[in-house]
Amino acid sequence: MKYQTEDNFWYEESKDWDGILEEFYCDVTGKSFRHTSVPQNVKYVILRIKYYYNGHIYSAISNDINFKPGENESSAMHFSIPLSSAWIVDHDDKPMRNITEKVKRYSGPRCDFHEQKVPLEH
């Protein structure tokens, strides 16, 4: 597929695109990727941000490459049901692995998953 890169970040990333693999991972720590034009051949972007808040580590997931946790958050009152446990289960609904702490990290300090709606599959 033909594509055009308009930004230095995407130009550098495109050097690794071989036309065979369809999924790529890159660490964008310290790179200027926000407010760039995503090339036409990039269909799905997942941004994962790790950050500390009040001494706890959290992770945010978004499809928006301009997303930053804590910015542009709604000042409206929120309500959330406390999460007591989360488990991965097998096909017979038998609990296999406790993922409660991981889910709590992704839910963020306000337990609203940073108001991002990211599907598990694409």
CA Rg, the chain, in Å? 18
Average pLDDT over residues 96-118: 91
Q: How confident is the model at residue 16 (pLDDT cuts 50, 70, 90)?
A: confident
pLDDT tens sequence across 36-93: 999 988 888 999 999 999 999 999 999 999 999 888 777 777 777 788 999 999 999 9
Per domain, the residue ranges of the chain are 8-115
Q: In the block, which residue shows the tokens 């978004």?
A: 62
Q: How confident is the model at residue 122 (pLDDT cuts 50, 70, 90)?
A: low
Using the predicted structure, report yes or no on whether residue 12 has a pLDDT greater than 70.
yes
